[in-house]
Amino acid sequence: VFQIQAFTNSSKFHVSEFILLGFPGIHSWQHWLSLPLALLYLSALAANTLILLTIWQNPSLQQPMYLFLGILSVVNMGLATTITPKNLAIFWFDAKVISLPECFAQIYAIHFFVGMESGIFLCMVFDRYVAICHPLRYPSVVTSSLILKANLFMVLRNGLFVIPVPVLAAQHDYCSRNEIEHCLCSNLGLFLAWLGMRSDLSLIILSYILILYSVLRLNSVEAAAKDLSTCSSHLTLILFFYTIVVVISVTHLTEMRATLIPVLLNVLHNIIAPSLNPIVYALQTKEV
């Protein structure tokens, strides 16, 4: 049961709660998707926890590259937990109602964690840039102090940058219809977050251009291959992350908002990425 208040002298209603209907067009059998979503969520929690324990228990992995990986694991679990439990509650218990404060909190959390993931990717590529292009300066540049400052900056940047999104959303008058054809409150969450990630992506592209230029100048093919191999897992995750964000943004611009494909991509991006990241690093990074 959702609560509504009638506007004075108006036939419209003021909405105090939303109803998340789930995936558009497949409401009758969308509950079958709960099993793969639950498995992906559990694998994301287990794999990222295992990454954290592995880094913590192995002194050889307590280096900047792997410390950033550990922070990324925390962000991944935060993003997956922001979205998946509510989705499963919709499918299993028909708990479709979400209050406005909860909805705006979810919008904030999604934007924050997606922005944090983009920021951590930038920190990781900076680490690889210094290690490959300026190896002699690496110990003096990438220090524990720098890692702490970089992460604090990312937390503050994303924590403050995304505040206007739920605040502006809360300023709207939501009248009459309170049903949302989505599993999330923010139908354009990733598209709006994309506006804040352009600078990260630009710096990442620039860094990889400089890395490639430095590697191509090496006389040894073996040394060049070794340097590039340290970037392979990171580059794989970046390509997946930004490609899906771009695809979601384009689908929202070219199609109606309440169509299945963008909604499905939005949900899967926020659960597959946290599941995929630790697996890619475990498979492609020998030390891990």
Q: Which of 136-140, 153-157, 164-168, 190-194 has the lowest mean pLDDT?
A: 190-194
pLDDT interval class at 194 (50, 70, 90): low
Q: What is the pLDDT of residues 218-258, one digit of tens each?
A: 888 887 888 888 788 888 888 888 888 777 777 666 655 55
Q: Which of 79-83, 111-115, 168-172 has the lowest mean pLDDT?
A: 168-172
Specify which of 21-30, 120-129, 260-269 reaches the highest per-range mean pLDDT. Answer: 120-129
d(CA 154, CA 160): 10
pLDDT at 10 over 60: no
pLDDT interval class at 7 (50, 70, 90): very low
pLDDT at 80 over 90: yes
Please tell me the pTM assigned to this model: 0.87
